Amino acid sequence: MKRELMKFLVFAAAVLTAPLFLKGGYIVNVLVFVGIYTILAVALNLLLGLAGQISLGQAAFFGLGAYISGVLTATHAANPWVAMVIAVIAVGAIAFVLGFPILKLKGHYLAMATLGMGIIVYIIFNETVDITGGPSGLSGIPNLSICGVVFNTDMKNYYLVWSFAMATILLSLNLSASRIGRALRAIHDSEVAARILGVNVRLLKVQIFTVSGIFSALAGSLYAHTVQFISPASFGFNVSIELLTMVIIGGLGSIYGSFLGAAILTLLPELFRTFQDYDIVVYGTVLIVMTMFMPGGIVRGVPLLARSLLVRVKAVRSSEKRV
Amino acid sequence: MLKIESMTKIFGGLTALQDVSFSISAGDITGIIGPNGAGKTTLFNVVTGIYDPTSGKVYYDGKDITGFSPEKLARLGLVRTFQGIELFGQMTVLENVMVGLHTKSQSGIIASALKLPAHLREERQIRERAISWLEFAGIADLAGMKAANLPFGKGRLLEIARAMAVEPRIILLDEPAAGLNSRETSDLALLIKRIKDAGITVALVEHDMELVMGICSRIVVLNLGHKLAEGTPRQIQEDEQVITAYLGEG
């Protein structure tokens, strides 16, 4: 209990002070995106890591959050904060209603249904040109502001996005340690046993799907107001897959792992600029290597790997002594 | 307490249960026995809402519960265990039992995420009660262990402790002694007696005749989906039909 709190405080302190060492610039801009993707990865992890329910359509909720916020402010001149609240509530309601039929499905069928959901929403963004601007995107989205402070620089956006990311992480940590989190993990391990014990599996799955949708919409709204321009390409199928990769790299069920996954997958492309179009090959390789050697993700895999290396080193040393 | 009336279950062309009727009285330990393929587990699956019956009714305290979902039955006080043990393998022993207390607590998503004081108090209570159920089953020393790493016999005890945490009025045990050695089986017999002494009705499907004859006050014999006989252990042991079904025509 106390250890969890300490971990969170250390993490929070690191997030708070990181920009001081970086002296602003391009890297801070990248870290803003790490924050947004952390929220998205944590949201997917609640669904996939805790409850064991896959979604290949998370980008749909991300996009809906971004477009609802964007259209309300850029086209209808709404207050950005009001737009954000509306986006989050609306997407939560959509996820709740869609959740009942979709989450009746299991395994591959659930994957297909959520994939379909993602593709349909992507097509809607492209085709409703009058509302969304279609493939050429929607521009002129205003920044968020508090008491006259406008979040219009990378540094300000860093603190804005990361306040929300930290809140998401804290709420998710609490949730996974609670009776709800236990029930979700129980569903993951044995659905029939959970039902026998009186766990309302169907409702709980829909609820966590809704929470996942709400966090994703929040990330979408933040994205819209920090980047100030959105187009369907940012919310396509590849984004859903990237989120999945983040969660798996970081470790299923590990909230901090989702942050690591988001950080690695956002920073890698920056480092691998030289690979240009081959970055997708690098992703693929990373994913294959990870699932082969660290199926539990980085958070669980690294300590395990370190331990087994240590054992091997000791074994080698003792055999050397014998020689 | 539990009344099964003209229960029939047909899978495709296979009749697993044919017009089976019997009652389980409150406070009893009722054994359901029969050769392999007699329909014992199917009967449990129909009663506990895993399968829908083809025809027939199940009454619980006079109330028709036919086709109720497992989660609804749990809330009414009817739980079961599984032949192959269904544990939450990635969770600890203690957490497994804490899930059993799910229906005894009500913090929702928001209270849990915000760690509201009422939720924290409830979490403490859940933990304490879960520990006392582990003590009841005699496995409190294993609380921190991952359930998947438990030896089979202890896993069985955990599954029973977890079901007891629901505070059922009736518990159905599907072959609780399967895969246990004789020492573990006698521990199990003691645990089942403790459950009965706590005022909970027990029904078990079992192959271990020594266990069944030792603890059951009533026995129902199924054979090829039909009810063959019903009575006290002594009556069953002397029943010609039962002997024939088990040993074949002599």
In A, minimum Cα distance to B116 occurs at: A174
Whole-structure pTM value = 0.91
> Which residues of chain A lie closer than 8 angstroms to B119, CB-CB?
178
Highest mean pLDDT among A80-89, A309-318, B4-13, B99-108: A80-89
Tell me the pLDDT band of A320, cut-offs 50, 70 and 90: confident
pLDDT at A292: 82
Residues 6+ apart with CB under 8 A from A309: none
Q: Which of A261, A211, A162 is nearest to A50 (CA)?
A: A211
Selected for mutation to probe chain B from A8, A178, A190 (highest B CB count within 10 Å) is A178
Residue A1 has pLDDT above 80, yes or no: no
Q: What percent of chain A has pLDDT over 90?
A: 72
Residue A243 lies in a domain: yes
Q: Does any CB of chain A come closer than 8 Å to the CB of residue B119?
A: yes
Tell whether A303 is covered by a domain. no
Q: Which domain holds residue A71?
A: 2-298
* Residue position matching structure tokens 């995106």: A33
> Which positions ≥6 away from B127 have C-beta within 8 Å?
B94, B98
Query: In chain A, which residue's Cα lies nearest the Cα of B76?
Result: A198
CA distance A147 to A138: 26
A278 three-state secondary structure: helix
Residue A208 Cα, gap to closest chain B Cα (Å): 9
Mean pLDDT over B49-70 rounds to: 93
Report the alpha-carbon distance of residue B234 to residue B219 in Å, rounded: 10
Q: What's the rounded mean pLDDT across residues B40-63?
A: 93
Q: Tell me which chain A residues have a C-beta less than 8 angstroms from the C-beta of B108.
A: 180
CB B137 within 8 Å of CB B160: yes
User: Which residues in A lie closer than 8 A to residue B88 (C-beta atoms)?
Assistant: 185-186, 189-190, 193-194
A198 and B102: CB-CB below 8 Å?
yes
* Cα distance between residue A98 and residue A185, in whole Å: 22
Give dist(CA B170, CA B193) in Å, integer: 13
Residue B99 in contact with partner chain A when CB distance is under 8 A: yes
Spatial contact of A66 and A221, defined as CB atoms under 8 Å apart: yes
What's the maximum distance between 2 C-alpha atoms anywhere in chain B?
Answer: 70
User: Which residues of chain B are within 8 Å of residue A104 when distances are taken between CB atoms?
Assistant: none
pLDDT at res. A290:
79
Cβ distance B115 to A186 less than 8 Å, yes or no, reads no
Residue A310 maps to a domain: no
Token pair, residue B161, equals 């402790």
Q: How many CB pairs under 8 A join A and B?
A: 101
B105: nearest CB among A179, A196, A208: A179
Q: How far apart are CA B170 and CA B200, in angstroms?
A: 6
Which domains are assigned to chain B?
Answer: 2-247 (3.40.50.300)
Phi, psi at residue B4, to the nearest 5°?
A: -110, 125
> What is the C-alpha to C-alpha distance for residues B130 and B132, in angstroms, rounded to an integer?
5
Instruction: Report which secondary-structure segment, H or E, holds A222.
Output: helix A201-227
Q: What is the pLDDT of residues A138-153, one digit of tens each?
A: 999 999 999 889 999 9
Q: Retrieve residue B132's tokens.
A: 């006392």
Among chain B residues, CA nearest to A171:
B113
In order, the DSSP letters of B93-161 are: HHHHHHHHTGGG----HHHHHHT-HHHHHHHHHHHHHHHHHHHHHT-GGGTTSBGGGS-HHHHHHHHHH
Which strands form B55-60's sheet, in the order they lie side by side? B14-24, B2-11, B55-60, B63-64
Give CA–CA dist A209/B109, Å, rounded.
12
Q: Are A143 and A150 in contact (CB under 8 A)?
A: yes
Confidence (pLDDT) at A323: 59
Which amino acid would we find at residue B6?
Answer: S
Assess contact for B161 and B149: CB atoms under 8 A: no
Sequence-distant (6+) residues with CB within 8 A of A258 are A38, A41, A42, A44, A45, A49, A246, A247, A250
Helix (H, G, I), strand (E, B) or coil at B59: strand
Is A56 within a domain?
yes
Q: What angle do CA B81, B83, B89 make, to 5 degrees?
A: 70
> Are the CB atoms for A241 and A41 separated by under 8 Å?
no
Amino acid found at B207: H
Q: If we measure between CA atoms, which residue out of B1, B41, B50 comes closest to residue B17? A: B41
- Dihedrals φ, ψ of A53, to 5°? -105, 120
What is the per-residue pLDDT for A289? 83
**How many structural domains compose chain A?**
1
Return the H-helix or E-strand segment holding B41: helix B40-47
Q: At what angle do helices A179-189 and B93-100 cross, to 10 degrees?
A: 110
CB of A180 within 8 A of CB of B105?
no
User: What distance in Å separates the CA atoms of residue A127 and residue A18, rounded to the nearest whole number?
Assistant: 41
In a domain, A123, yes or no: yes
What backbone torsions phi and psi does residue B65 show, to the nearest 5 degrees?
A: -115, 15
B74 → closest Cβ in A172, A174, A197: A197
Owner of token pair 């994939």: A115
What's the gap in Å between the CA of B47 and the closest CA on chain A?
12
Angle at B188 between CA B186 and CA B193, to 5 degrees: 100
CA angle (A265, A268, A271) in 5-degree steps:
165
- Smallest CA–CA distance from B89 into chain A, residue: A189
A52, A176 contact by CB (below 8 A): no
Check if B149 contacts A (Cβ < 8 Å).
Answer: no
Residue B80 has pLDDT above 90, yes or no: yes
Q: What are phi and psi of B35, to 5 degrees?
A: -65, 170
**Chain A: which residues have CB within 8 Å of chain B?**
171-172, 174-175, 178-183, 185-186, 188-190, 192-201, 207-208, 211
The domain that contains A248 carries what CATH number? Answer: 1.10.3470
Give me the interface pTM, i.e. the ipTM: 0.92
The stretch B140-157 carries a mean pLDDT of 95
Top residue of A188, A196, A201, A214 to mutate, by most chain B CBs within 10 Å, is A196
Q: Residue A271, class by beta-carbon neighbours within 10 Å (0-12 exposed, 13-18 middle, 19+ buried)?
A: exposed
Q: How confident is the model at residue A276 (pLDDT cuts 50, 70, 90)?
A: low
Q: Which residue has the tokens 């006698």?
A: B186
Coil, helix or strand at residue A150: strand
DSSP B12-64: TTEEEEEEEEEEE-TT-EEEEE-STTSSHHHHHHHHTTSS--SEEEEEETTEE
Reported as a single tens digit per residue, the pLDDT across A29-64 is 999 999 999 999 999 999 999 999 999 999 999 999
Domain assignment present for A112:
yes
pLDDT at B26 over 90: yes
CB atoms within 10 A of CB B199: 9
Q: Which of B41, B50, B78, B86 to mutate to test the interface with A (most CBs of A within 10 A)?
A: B86
Q: Would the CB atoms of A179 and B102 count as touching at under 8 Å?
A: yes
Give per-residue pLDDT as tens, A100-128: 999 999 999 999 999 999 999 999 999 99
Q: B53 in helix, strand or coil?
A: coil
A309 within a domain of the structure (yes/no): no
Inform me whether the C-beta atom of residue B168 falls under 8 Å from chain A C-beta atoms: no
Contact yes or no for A195 and B71 at CB 8 A: yes
Answer for the pair A153, A161: CB distance below 8 angstroms, yes or no.
no
Enter the tokens of residue B171: 């518990």
**Is B123's CB within 8 Å of A182's CB?**
no
Mean pLDDT value across residues A164-170: 97
The answer to whether residue A314 is domain-embedded is no
- Tokens 């971004």 locate to A66
Interchain contact, B103 vs A197, CB within 8 Å: yes
pLDDT confidence tier of residue A279, bands split at 50, 70 and 90: low
